[in-house]
Chains A and B, each alone.
Chain A
Amino acid sequence: MKRFFGMSLTLALLVGFLVLLSAGFYWAAAGLGWGFNALSISFGWNPPGTVSTAAVSYGAAVGNLLTLMMVVLMISGSMLTVAERKWSALLQNRIGANRITVGGNPLGGIPYLLADALKMLTKEAAAPDVRNRLLFELAPVLAFAPVFCLFAIVPVGPAVDLGNFFGVAAAGKSVSLQVAQIDAGLLYLFAIASLSVYGTSLAGWASNNKLALLGGVRAASQMISYEVSMGVSLVGTMMAYRTLRLEEMVVAQGAPVLGGFPALGLLLQPIGFLIFFTSGFAETKRAPFDLPEGESEIVGYFIEYSGMKFGMMFLAEFLEIAVFAGVITAIFLGGWHPLVFEETLRQNLQPIWFAAVCGGAFLVKMILLMWLQLVIRWLLPRFRYDQVQKLCWKILLPASLVNVFVTGAAILIDPSLQLLAWIGLGTIIVIGVLVGASGRQAAATDGHAAHGAAHAGGH
């Protein structure tokens, strides 16, 4: 019972901390935007007393770069290395890493982060003589950088008028928790996501090792395959929300449909969600899609890497989880919409604090999705290679194409998205029934079990 209350308190405090954190992020973005504006005035680029949109958005982007990408992304990526151990332990009825303690308290395994970093940084960097030097050194960067860049378009919080931070003088310009608001939106996502295949395949090639090459080739073919279904699975969402920009998609998901229920991507596009989730999971190259690594058969594309170069590849995988969780939250789970008590909160809270609550809601959803990805990683065994390709080309791709046509037809018939929502609801109910229907009877009666035991003993 003590642990129950302690854990509940910890989780509540975590949510509160996330809200405070996003409030801090807003202040950082607004402060830097305001500061850059002041700088541009002092340089004489803008007349005094004006507020330049360019200066504010540039400053806010720098602020968000520092807060969202350096703080949120890096910390969630590195915390996931701890979570991988601790959560997997909880899933498997173990305790997990608890031998490094601070004052006798293992602190949930978090001190292991320090130990890991120390180990990675101080390890000998042994590299094969026969490597292709340039590509070998470049590959970890190529694996790491695209993943990192992806987070730029993820909208963590809504736009807030700058006037709320610095009085009426600054009114009319807004800052939001998003590094880059670009028109290409999802296209940028696809473009950059497909770049990360270079890192893995070049690592495999440049190591001059058969196993690494095998891993690199597997990674390349798997990631290129799943790019296709990943792209097509989001076409339905693009059509439903009529935009490529993630921040507009999130706003559109707040609109009521089906009797006031918000038009979440999950409701409108359940099939698209499943396909995107699966394809994205394959892109992260983790179990059950971890053939490029396959540590029990080939060690994988990073077999020749050691020390922090390996650490970069390792961390890139975890960053990919975090980014992917952020993207799914934005596209399918209503982004920063808190979904519960949203109107009450909007009316009773100051705009900054409402935005902070929204940012906290986004981070909570993101953490839940990261958790879900880790659960699936520990749930399923590795697919066989033909199963991976079959799943992509024979199941996910046709399904996503059908999804596109059905979505298109539904929007053509009823542009208000009602029909699409009904179809989505029907799909969710069908999936729920399929999940809930008990297939297999509980194995055998008592007599059978005893008989089996006797046989096992006899053999």
Chain B
Amino acid sequence: MAYQLDNRPLDLRERFYFPEVIRGIGTLAGHFLRNLFFSRDANPDILARPRGLGYSDNVTLQYPEEKAPYPPGYRGLHRLVPREDGSPRCVACYMCATACPAQCIYIEAAEVPGDPIEKYPAKFVIDELRCVVCGFCVEACPKDAIRMDTGEHAPPSLERVHQLLDEKALLRGPAVSYLSDPWLRRPAPSIPAEALAAMTASARPYPDASDEYAQTPGFSVKALAAEARERAERAGTP
């Protein structure tokens, strides 16, 4: 948070220099004693840690052991959203691969055996090294089949090939079904009847706000507009 510094020249007492040095020693000694005698709060939300007498001033997060959680809406590693039966929702339409500005998505489509209409991705490979984490693939997907809601960043690896995630690695996370899914509206021969009934039972009418990919906290057009209006008002009044 920005705050204004009062940058006026030193007064006579401050130009003596020594008194201010002694004061500085006092300030540092206060920090030292608090940090020496009181233990660090490990709360990853550092601003929420208690402050004042009786508490350490420490702001450290011991990284590999303690991690600050990513905010909701963080674009992490991709995943292919599964259906309830474990197969991907993806229908291999190539929309994401087309939208991708980094051209990091490679798809090979195949026909579902015994189904005259439906396709599935026989190969779905994302090169996480080429990915620019723009999220266009998620936006482009008409079936809500690819998401970036894993909350993980690309893991380090010693070999490039380990950053190529194929459909087996990508297919994970909670399953999703919508009532508008064509394979629910039209009895698909590839899905057994009882499985279809279960999927229909758990299907939702449309993506709701509890889907993390659907909301982007801190990016609300309404809030931004209100903030801009407020700023303009404040700038207008002296």
- Residues on A close to B: CB < 8 A? 2-4, 7-8, 87, 89-95, 274, 372, 375-376, 378-380, 431, 434-435, 437, 439-440, 443-444, 448-458
Contacts and interface: CB of A to CB of B under 8 A. Distances in A.
4 closest Cβ pairs, A-B complex: A452-B4, A456-B2, A3-B39, A434-B19
Contacts of A375: 25, 28-29, 32
B25 A376 contact: yes
Nearest to B14: A439
Interface in B141-166: none
Given A378-B28, A434-B13, A3 B5 contact: no
B25 A90 contact: no
A3 B37 contact: yes
B24 A379 contact: yes
Contact of A454 (B5, B24, B235): B235
A439 B11 contact: yes
Contacts of A434: 13, 16, 18-19
Contacts of B38: 3-4
Contacts of B25: 372, 375-376, 379
Interface in B37-57: 37-40, 56-57
Interface residues of B, number: 37
Nearest to B13: A439
Contacts of A449: 3-4
A112 to B, nearest CB: 17
Nearest to B30: A91
Interface stretch (B58-66, B90-98, B192-200, B216-224): B58-66
A444 B6 contact: yes
Given A435-B23, A443-B4, 17 more contacts: A3-B39, A90-B32, A91-B32, A93-B60, A94-B60, A95-B58, A375-B28, A380-B21, A380-B24, A431-B18, A434-B18, A440-B14, A449-B4, A453-B3, A454-B231, A454-B235, A458-B235
Given A7-B36, A95-B40, A453-B1, A431 B19 contact: yes
A185 to B, nearest CB: 28
Contacts of B58: 93-95
B22 interface: yes
Given A443-B6, A450-B234, A93 B36 contact: no
7 contacts: A90-B35, A93-B60, A376-B21, A431-B18, A434-B13, A444-B4, A448-B4
A91 B31 contact: yes
A266 to B, nearest CB: 14
A443 B235 CA distance: 20
B36 A379 contact: no
Given A93-B35, A443-B6, A456-B2, A379 B60 contact: no
B10 to A, nearest CB: 9
Nearest to A274: B18
A374 B29 CA distance: 11
Contacts of A458: 231, 235
A435 B22 contact: yes
B133 to A, nearest CB: 26
Interface string B111-142: 00000000000000000000000000000000
Given A435-B19, A453-B2, A458-B235, A95 B60 contact: yes
A449 B4 CA distance: 6
A451 B18 CA distance: 34
User: B4, B13, B18, B39: which has the most chain A beta carbons within 10 Å?
Assistant: B4
Contacts of B13: 434, 437, 439
Given A91-B31, A94-B58, A443 B5 contact: yes
A385 to B, nearest CB: 17
A13 to B, nearest CB: 15
B39 A2 contact: yes
A431 B20 CA distance: 11
A449 B234 CA distance: 12
Nearest to A376: B25
Contact of A7 (B37, B40, B62): B37
A375 B32 CA distance: 9
Contacts of B59: 93-94
Contacts of B56: 93
Contacts of A455: 2, 4, 235
Nearest to B59: A93
User: A2, A3, A372: which has the most chain B beta carbons within 10 Å?
Assistant: A3
Nearest to A451: B234
A431 B23 CA distance: 11
